[in-house]
Structure formats: structure tokens, C-alpha cells
Chain A
């Protein structure tokens, strides 16, 4: 099992955001977590990445308990987070951004940086064109790609994406989701957090629905897409009302 979370509790100070969350991700899967604003999606990813300490429960990555491990150790253990809002090194060049992403592997002398860099440029050709530009001058979509590329440089076994489609044009969102599928095909495991539930579930194997810090629903992506409650709450479709319209016809 890639990732297993058991009875996880976490939050900010006294504020308890996650309430006894249990979930798992199998190798090679794309798993999506959907939920409204404030449901705790980002908190969950930050807790897995070690940026927030878990107050209870355990997180197991590839058989090792990583709850309350320092974030840099978790990256080294093979779990990378692509944070919401890109978070690129805006005053550094695209090339330098990517090199820093491979920092963990470079430190262990395990990686031919040039070869790895070429792989990233193959996935994101636009980054090659912008190689020497300051990352802060890229467009939103390009920054998202850079952020993903930078995480991939660490050769993660599990890559977590926090709202990769936020603030992007529909065409670019499509492109980003295609790349996520591509990542899965080349053997990566993906844990995806999205507000854009339809697109995310469309490419996923399984999904979890998070509401006020609890998992209220889980299952194969198609089942969730077909679920009435999910459709009403997250897909913007009121099935009952649509049915009524049909009857009138």
C-alpha cells in the first residue's frame, strides 16, 4: 500500500480541522479528495507532507510511519506536495527552480540531474522555452506546470496535488488533467485535491468526499460521479429538479 491514514486528527492550535480521517491510496492509483471550502482538504495534504503536526492517528507511507516526521524527511521518503497557488521560486529562473526540486535526489547522489531535467522538459515543453526566464514572470498555467515539474524532480513515489486547476483557463485545465493522467501512466501514484470535482473524478480511480473534517463518502470515481448527493453538492447538478423539467417536457 502506498499511503495509509488511520484515525488522523490535526488542525491549527486549538482548532481541530481533521476529525478521525481514515483513507488509503494504492500504488498506481489516482485518488481524488473533493470537498467544499474549509472542509479540510489542504489541511489533510499539509499534514501528510509534515507541514502541520498530526495530533492523533497515524500516517504510513510505504510501510513507514511518517506522522510527525519533518517535511524535508517526508520529501526524501518519496512523497511530494505541489502546493496550492503554485508557490514557485519567483525570483529564480525556471531552470534553477527545477534543479532545486531535485535537491533531495541530488543530495543522495542518486540522480543524473541533466537526464531528469530532460524528462521534465519532455513532459512540459513550454518550460524548456522559458528555461532562463524568472519563474515569477510565467503565466498561471506555466507556473502550475513548473510547480509540478519541480516536484517530479524529487522522483516522488506519491505526488500530491493541491487544487492544480485554480485560476486557470478551461483549456489549460484540460491540459493539466491530461498531464496528471500521463503521470499515472508512467507509474506515478497521484493524490489529488480539487474543487473542480467533475474533471478530477473523471480521471480518477477512486474518490473521497470530505465534509467539515470528516470523510462522509468514498468509492470508485464512477460511483461518486453517479451519486445524487455528490452531484447536487459538488457537480452543480440538481437531479431532482432536472427530472421535473423532463416530466414537463
Chain B
């Protein structure tokens, strides 16, 4: 493998890895306040992309993205208020089935609104063929956008959860809802907030990746599986670990093209998911101690 090809693969890996990481972080946020996996997370990414594409037909790009993110956030809040909020201490399994149902609902709605066509946002800078020379390889400026936006999201989020009182309250809800209520925290609002936050993050990711990966009504499903793999690989609930795990999976996938056909790419991430679930269910970076204290 030439060094140029190596770098080319590496950048592709990092780009996709960042996207997976963002989807995984979306999973983690909701997991952290509710203890459930929201399988509609991929649909938030799709909605962000689709809404911004539609809005961009009559609005400038930054405004279209901003409004798409806000609309997705509102949809996230509505989903929680309509489907989750009124449940009295639901079981983990019930919540998972509900979120799978929601993801199917959103996907079918999107099919009706936007049809089967593949769409995309224009490149934020330049176009399909413009490139920036880094080291000895050429990368699209959009790749830098993706990596940059992901990095900013990750840093802001970890600051939010560690240092703001709202972030700590959300973590408290995740750890023990009964105790959080007894501390005077309105747990139901925290759950709504976590749905809004992860919807917004998913939508933003959907916008920045749209020029590269294109957006279709069902493009969320694949991303959800990859994102879930990454979330488990890193250790559920740990956003920083999700980043490392995301980059790892992205790079493994990118280099695997050299060995196995492209069609097997998805099989690789599923295999990794299975292996991790069997061998290290608390993830590569999760501590066994902390995982043992969790309900799910």
C-alpha cells in the first residue's frame, strides 16, 4: 500500500468514524438519563439531513441547517412527551420496543414526505471536486467540516455533563431516578431535555455528512446500527470513549476495503458488535466496576 493510499484510507476512516461517534453520543445522552437505548437515534440524523435539504431550497445554508436542527429538536421533545413521558416506571424492554416503533414510524413518514429519492446538501465550501492538500494526500473540505463539527460537539458535551448543574442533574437521573426525585430534581423534564439534546446533535451530524454520504428516507437505520456498535464498543454512556471507538471502527472499515469486498463492510461492524457483547460487554474503555452498578 502506498503512503498516499494509506492516508486516503485514514482520512476516509476518520470521517466516517466521526459520524459514528456523533450517533453513538446521541445514544449515550438518552441512555445516560433514562437507561434506555433510543433506536430512533438514526432517524434524527436522517431528519436533520432531509429537513435542511428541503429548507435550503429557499433559505441560505446556515439558516436552513439551524432551523432543521431546531425542528428535529422539537420532534425529539414531542416523541418523548407523546410516547414516553406518561409511562409509569416502564421496563427497559418496553422502552426499547417503543423506540424501535418510533423509528419505523419516522422512516415511513419520511418516505411519504420526501419519497425514495436520494438527496444531498451542497458542499459547505467549494464543490465535489475541490480539495485541500494535507500531507501528501488530497481531502475534501467537507471532510474537515465533519471532523471539526464532531470535535466541537464532543468537547462542549463533556464540559456540559461534567461542570454544569443541568448536566449533573441529567447524570443523576441516569444513576437513580428515585433518588433524583428525592433530591428535588424534576426527572421527567430531564428526560425530555435529553431527547432534545440528542435529537439536535443527531440532526447537526445529519447536515454536515449529507454532502458526502447523501441522505435518503432510510439512511438512518444503517447509521443507527453503526452508532450502536460504537456506543457499546466504547462502553455505554461514555461519550469520550465513543469518540475513540468511533474512529477505531471507521478506520477498520476503511482499511478493510483493501482486504475484503466493499459489500462486507457492514458485516465487519456487526461482527465487532457481537464480539464485544460476548467478550467485553462493558466496552473497550468502560470500567467493569461502573458497568456492574448499572441496570442495563
Contacts and interface: CB of A to CB of B under 8 A. Distances in A.
A and B pair up: yes
Interface of A: 49, 51, 70-72, 75-76, 80-81, 83, 87-92, 96, 99-101, 103-104, 106-107, 134, 136-137, 150-151, 154
A90 B178 CA distance: 12
A206 B182 CA distance: 26
Interface string B160-197: 00000100110110111011111111100000000000
A131 B290 CA distance: 16
Contacts of A103: 165, 169, 183-185
A92 B180 CA distance: 12
Contact of B289 (A92, A137, A150, A151): A137
Question: Which 10 residue pairs across A and B have the least CB separation, nearest first?
Answer: A75-B184, A89-B175, A104-B184, A136-B293, A87-B179, A90-B293, A72-B184, A91-B175, A100-B172, A71-B181
Given A80-B182, A88-B179, A106 B165 contact: yes
A72 B290 CA distance: 28
B175 A104 contact: no
13 contacts: A51-B178, A51-B182, A72-B181, A72-B184, A75-B182, A81-B182, A88-B176, A88-B179, A92-B172, A96-B172, A100-B185, A103-B185, A107-B184
A96 B178 CA distance: 16
Among A72, A92, A100, A134, residue most surrounded by chain B Cβ atoms (within 10 Å)? A100
Contacts of A71: 181-182, 184
A91 B282 CA distance: 14
Nearest to B181: A71
B172 A89 contact: yes
B85 interface: no
Given A89-B175, A90-B175, A100 B180 contact: yes
Nearest to A91: B175
A83 B184 contact: no
Given A76-B184, A91-B174, A136-B290, 9 more contacts: A51-B181, A51-B182, A81-B182, A89-B171, A91-B294, A96-B168, A96-B171, A100-B169, A103-B183
A70 to B, nearest CB: 8
Given A103-B165, A106-B165, A92 B182 contact: no
Contacts, number: 79
B51 to A, nearest CB: 35
B183 A104 contact: yes
B168 A87 contact: no
Among B171, B176, B178, B186, residue most surrounded by chain A Cβ atoms (within 10 Å)? B176
B293 A101 contact: no
Contacts of B186: 70, 72
A92 B165 CA distance: 14
A150 to B, nearest CB: 7
Contacts of A107: 184
Among A71, A83, A106, A151, residue most surrounded by chain B Cβ atoms (within 10 Å)? A71
Contacts of A92: 168, 171-172, 175
Contact of A154 (B181, B183, B237): B183
A227 B183 CA distance: 38
Nearest to B174: A91
A75 B289 contact: no
B172 to A, nearest CB: 5
B235 to A, nearest CB: 12
Contacts of A88: 176, 179
Given A100-B168, A103-B165, A136-B293, A87 B176 contact: yes
B179 A89 contact: yes
B226 to A, nearest CB: 26
A151 B237 CA distance: 26
Nearest to B291: A91
B182 A87 contact: yes
Given A106-B165, A134-B293, A72 B185 contact: yes
Interface string B257-296: 0000000000000000000000000000000011001100
Interface in B183-220: 183-186
A39 to B, nearest CB: 21
Contacts of A81: 182
Contacts of A49: 182
Nearest to A81: B182
Nearest to A70: B186
A89 B180 CA distance: 8
A49 B181 CA distance: 10
A78 to B, nearest CB: 11
A140 B165 CA distance: 27
